[in-house]
Structure 1
């Protein structure tokens, strides 16, 4: 039986963990597409640490079509992955998109040469200590969630026998919006305040968060998500139980002067709200402020 040809694009925390786990299955032939050559990956999980050999490509022109692409770049970097997707994809390829936000098909599909686009929700924590060293932490429940159906079943099969647990759901859009609800407060507020999750212990920040969440819940319902009447309050209550010293990806990107993922988060809420004629002034304010920060970071990076 031929091994499944898999390309992992992006070797950050999420991509590094995905590449490590996929490489543990003898049925997978994994290639990592990254900026730098990495021949071996240190993979920490629970109390174990393994050295996993990697086959790495750094030049898209050398890539060949594969059965699966696991796209692990940030959402704002999807267009920059286009040279890889154009070489890796055919109409027989499936691209699993492990990114925040919604609208994965619209964001990735134009670059994928007719490949099937499979959105995935990432619940696991992938921490990157160095370019060649990552750690997997399980949060709760499934590590990844995909829509129910044949593509989702085939995706889950890629991870059989590995530490990653893949769930499938016929109510995927609801779970997708619930993950987005967490991100539309966690990321922008920590980035704008330059504070970790402890900032959410402030009553004024909690009030702002509820306003942002209630706008997004109304939009999610209009998009077909089955969200509860007290969804905003439940999300915030759960969120307040997270470690106050924890940061978010946008917080760290902001401190590092990198471009921010705001278009895929509050930007996605605002764009969907326009389709349904719904007001989202707080989400629009978050989008405007973080876009200005992101543009300034990008301009500064170009001058370095």
Structure 2
């Protein structure tokens, strides 16, 4: 597949990281909307910066021909970019949904008609430091995962050419729910404590994290995912191993910056799916209530 023309909706940390991979693979990049026009992408990794040119587009009507549209806004902002989604679908683009949770495709479906939507799971730890600029850290074995089905394998090949350690997963459901365990434990507990990843080294916090991930694993199994209780504990061990790097989470950063948080797309989704299957998730239910009571403006 030749390098596609790519529109990025949501030029935050994740949008910039994915855009940089497409740019490195030879794609022309459009950065869509936003309060501040941005005409380049700069990624800082291991202290070295690299920059790629991009074109800023103010309105969906200016989009033109594109092959891929990356949706990298937070889950709760999906409806706010509905006009961009419709324009991307009308242009015949594949919609790559780089959002947290397990409901990515269902979230964009009302806005894209028959266009193909591909969910993406992002493992990178990325912090946006200025408009168009982000610092990127790689954690774990992969940077991004896509389903091998549909256009997922072809997009994975392009992202690999762009320097991403990409997993085109045959069993995407298992990969999706494993990432949910990571997010529901790591994001929630760093947001609630307002501390970075080393908080997970605290024995009491680690015990809560294991309770969270075990419940998520039970919900995943009810959905048909091959996720074991042992994997749930392994997720917490993985988070602890990465903790000394002092990484943060997107949810903690949103709380500290006074922005809304994605608790409904993460823990909220776990509680919803659990109710559908009659699975008891008392710890995640409490975590959801606590996250819902957070007032980011009081950070």
TM-score, normalization by structure 1: 0.90
| Residue of structure 1 equivalent to 2:221 | 221
* Cα distance, 1:110 vs structure 2: 0.9
SS at match of 2:5: strand
* Cα 1:218/1:88, change in 2 over 3 Å: same
* Cα distance, 1:292 vs structure 2: 2.3
Structure-2 separation of matches of 1:110 and 1:101: 17
* Cα distance, 1:176 vs structure 2: 0.9
SS at match of 2:28: strand
Structure-2 separation of matches of 1:71 and 1:166: 18
Question: What are the residue-to-residue correspondences of 1:48-67 with 2, within 5 Å?
Answer: 48-64=48-64, 66-67=66-67
Q: Does 1:262 align with 2:238?
A: no
| Residue of structure 1 equivalent to 2:282 | 281
Structure-2 separation of matches of 1:91 and 1:235: 40
Structure-1 separation of matches of 2:43 and 2:247: 21
* Cα 1:233/1:291, change in 2 over 3 Å: same
Contact 2:196 2:248 in 1 (8 A): yes
* Cα 1:41/1:213, change in 2 over 3 Å: closer
State the superposition RMSD in angstroms.
2.2
| Residue of structure 1 equivalent to 2:148 | 148
| Residue of structure 2 equivalent to 1:172 | 172
Contact 1:60 1:87 in 2 (8 A): yes
SS at match of 1:159: helix
Gaps of 5+ in 1: none
SS at match of 2:161: coil
| Residue of structure 2 equivalent to 1:209 | 209
* Cα distance, 1:137 vs structure 2: 2.6
Q: Number of aligned pairs?
A: 296
Contact 1:60 1:84 in 2 (8 A): yes
* Cα 1:80/1:168, change in 2 over 3 Å: same
Q: Does 1:271 align with 2:272?
A: yes
| Residue of structure 1 equivalent to 2:17 | 17
* Cα distance, 1:274 vs structure 2: 1.1
* Cα distance, 1:147 vs structure 2: 1.0
| Residue of structure 2 equivalent to 1:109 | 109
* Cα distance, 1:216 vs structure 2: 1.1
* Cα 1:65/1:82, change in 2 over 3 Å: farther
Contact 2:210 2:233 in 1 (8 A): yes
* Cα distance, 1:143 vs structure 2: 1.7
- Provide runs of 4+ in structure 1 moved above 6 Å: none
